[in-house]
């Protein structure tokens, strides 16, 4: 009989809920709000990560493009530098070589001596005779990034060519006399080009001893110096 008494009560509650759905709507809204409070931050976080990823992708592409542009610019600058500085770099390597090429040095000195000998004029017989070239042993210097090689020269010359030759040793530059001699045809072009393209290493003159030969008014010269190399 108890069961029969409870049934109307339950039925009555259900009936009331059907007649008044507001509590259910409130519960539904609360559930939706709770669900939203959980999902919305997650969605916002996910959306932010997507935006960040897109931003990073654009930055990477921008950096790649910038790197490519800079690489092309660097290649262009290097090409321009090599074009302009190439001849100077070649001369620098000869001026301060890794190893001393004594055979090449002797050839340069002999060719220069021959050119000075050929520079005769109407009023003067040009004189220059290279008689001896000797080299010592190359030795490294302490606490310095270079090596030294002793060498000595014996030659016979007139005073004007003596000054010219000393200037050539110290600067490696062809004198104005040789340039004029080339224009006059006194010097072979192939020899001039060799001297122009091949220079002596850096040299330091230690001593010069001269004696005057009164017979032909020339100087007998003994010169001692050192060549520098790496």
Per-position b or e across 98-130, b if 16+ CB within 10 A of its CB: eebeeeebeebbebbbebbbebeeeeeebbbeb
Structure confidence at residue 162 (pLDDT): 95
> Which of 125, 106, 127 has its CA nearest to residue 116?
127
| Residue-wise pLDDT tens digits, 67-93 | 778 877 767 776 666 666 566 666 778
Q: What is the pLDDT of residues 90-119, one digit of tens each?
A: 677 877 888 889 999 999 999 999 999 988
The pLDDT assigned to 9 comes to 52
Q: Please tell me whether the overall predicted TM-score, pTM, comes out greater than 0.85 for this model.
A: no
pLDDT of residue 44 exceeding 60:
yes
pLDDT attached to residue 1: 47
| Between 215 and 87, residue with greater pLDDT | 215
Average pLDDT over residues 141-168: 90
Give the C-alpha separation, 43 to 37, whole Å: 10
CA atoms within 13 A on the CB side of 144: 10
């Amino acid at each position: 009989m108890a069961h029969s008494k409870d049934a109307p009560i339950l039925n009555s509650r259900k009936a009331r809920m059907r007649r008044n759905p507001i509590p259910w709507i409130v519960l539904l809204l609360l559930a939706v709000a709770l669900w939203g409070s959980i999902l919305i931050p997650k969605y916002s976080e996910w959306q932010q990560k997507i935006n960040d990823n897109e931003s990073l992708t654009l930055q990477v592409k921008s950096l790649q493009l910038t790197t490519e542009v800079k690489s092309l610019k660097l290649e262009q600058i290097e090409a321009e530098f090599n074009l302009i500085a190439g001849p100077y770099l070649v001369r620098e390597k000869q001026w301060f070589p890794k190893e001393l090429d004594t055979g090449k040095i002797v050839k340069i000195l002999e060719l220069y001596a021959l050119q000075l000998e050929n520079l005769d004029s109407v009023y003067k017989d040009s004189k220059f005779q290279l008689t001896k070239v000797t080299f010592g042993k190359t030795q490294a210097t302490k606490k310095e990034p270079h090596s030294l090689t002793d060498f000595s020269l014996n030659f016979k010359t007139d005073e004007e060519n003596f000054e010219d030759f000393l200037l050539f040793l110290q600067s490696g530059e062809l004198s104005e006399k040789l340039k004029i001699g080339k224009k006059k045809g006194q010097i072979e072009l192939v020899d001039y080009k060799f001297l122009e393209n091949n220079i002596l290493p850096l040299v330091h003159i230690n001593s010069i001893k001269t004696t005057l030969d009164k017979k032909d008014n020339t100087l007998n010269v003994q010169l001692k110096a050192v060549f520098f190399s790496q």
